[in-house]
Amino acid sequence: MHDLASAPVGRAEKGRWLRWLLVAVAIIVVDQWSKIYFNGHYQFGEVRPVVPGFFNFTLLYNPGAAFSFLAGAGGWQKHFFTLLAFGVSSWLAWNVVKGRFSEMMNLAAAFIVGGALGNVIDRLVHGHVIDFIQLYYRDWYYPAFNLADSFICVGAVLMVIDSFRKP
């Protein structure tokens, strides 16, 4: 078993990239299942407290990107973010297949690819991303997000950690 921070696995271990593909696919499946659930069991804008004073489930639609960035841009942003997700996912996947990343970076890439493509599916099917997790404290509300967003963020953090672990 490789340490997550080990050196790149290289081409000698052909097919190891398949497990990272399966991680990304699992993330897409769990993300889409959660969005189907919330979209089918909640009304738009409905809020149900989970941990009062801190955490709600809600159903919101985001036509933009993170924090509703470019949400009111008129529609072109859907295509832009879809192309961006495909571009980044392709680059990450290519580097995983070629064995250019450490194990930690492979995990980070799988998280980002799974999350990005989960949100792409929303944009293509619904024209917006389905968000349902809401964190807040008193009158302060963090923008609603979903599991795909969470995986993208964790993947980005893993990439930063991995970059500090290299000589």
Catalytic residue check, 31? no
* Catalytic residue check, 162: no
Residues recorded for the chain: 167
Q: 152 pairs with which residues across the strands? A: none
Return phi, psi of residue 5, to 5°. -100, 10
Residue type at 108 in one-letter notation: A
Given 3, 31, 139, 149, the catalytic residue = 149
Give residue for tokens 């879809």.
82
- Selecting among 3, 31, 122, 131, the annotated active-site residue is 131
Tokens of 95: 């580097």
The residues near 2 (Cβ < 8 Å, ≥ 6 apart) are: 9, 103
Contacts of residue 86, defined as CB under 8 A and 6 or more positions apart, other chains included, come to: 120
- Catalytic positions are 131, 149
